[in-house]
Structure 1
Amino acid sequence: MTATTDYRPAQQTVKDLAAELGVKASTVYRWIADGSLHARYRVVAVKTGRTWTITLPEDVKYFEAPKPAVNLEARIRAAYATLRTARHEWVGFAELRPMLADVARADLDYALRQMLRCDDVVIIPENNQKALRQEDRKAALWLGDQPKHYIACGIR
């Protein structure tokens, strides 16, 4: 996330922050519980009664999603085409990410999320969680509160 100078309230609710980040409110609550909300976004969560209030640091007025390079989708599709052995085959993110190692993870994740809007892209989780290797778990794309492990392009 990058800071801009646009104005935004110094405090907001969990629901508003979740909508802004493109995740479910339950994910933000999980981040609050494990302390990663502060580590990821330098924000402080304070509970007053039954309501959580998210307070932004003074030097950051507004957060926005990272902007990937214009051709990043094309690079992802080219890497996918290189890795697949048959048409419409599933390719794991553990194999895809090393081919795009020069791209920051946040930018790559953002581009993958944007590709979900395309009719020919599908991203799914591994159904058998016991079959996952450590590399698969680390490379997973988190959508909402679920890790996704495979991508297929051109299948619709």
Structure 2
Amino acid sequence: MHLKNDLLLRAAKGETIERTPVWLMRQAGRILPEYRKVRESVSGFIELAQTPELAAEVTIQPVDLLGVDAAIIFSDILVIPEAMGLPYEMVEKRGPLFPNTVRSEADLKKLHVSDGSELRYVTDAIHITRKALNGRVPLIGFAGAPWTIFSYM
């Protein structure tokens, strides 16, 4: 698919570009009333991230409303531990909370290596978003380094 705006990708390749590309790590987040409206329609952050159509909607909002040069898939690095059997809660105005954490070798042995099926909602959100973007801008993702994810666990 040919991108109509490939500025971010050209910059990443080190090519000469006409201006610095713009994208913000929390481009949807609290700054957009449209995001807050979608967020209020569900029980919270995790349900929003796990509902592919809504995750796609809030991913695309900054492209439409702010004119950023890339979309960032709406998800969270903590979906990885959850897929491994360690669920988390997103506490409003506090952040992530793991009711159970890895404190011993026995806790570690309770975790399982995911085959990715538990994260189908993320791949579904990516497919829906790419289709809706229709090549307007690149869709980028993010990941937490193993140490970062394990420190939450």
TM-score by length of structure 2 reads 0.33
Q: Quick check: which one's helix share is greater?
A: 2
Q: Quick check: which one's strand share is greater?
A: 1
Of the two structures, which has the highest relative contact order with CA contacts closer than 8 Å and spacing of 6 or more?
2
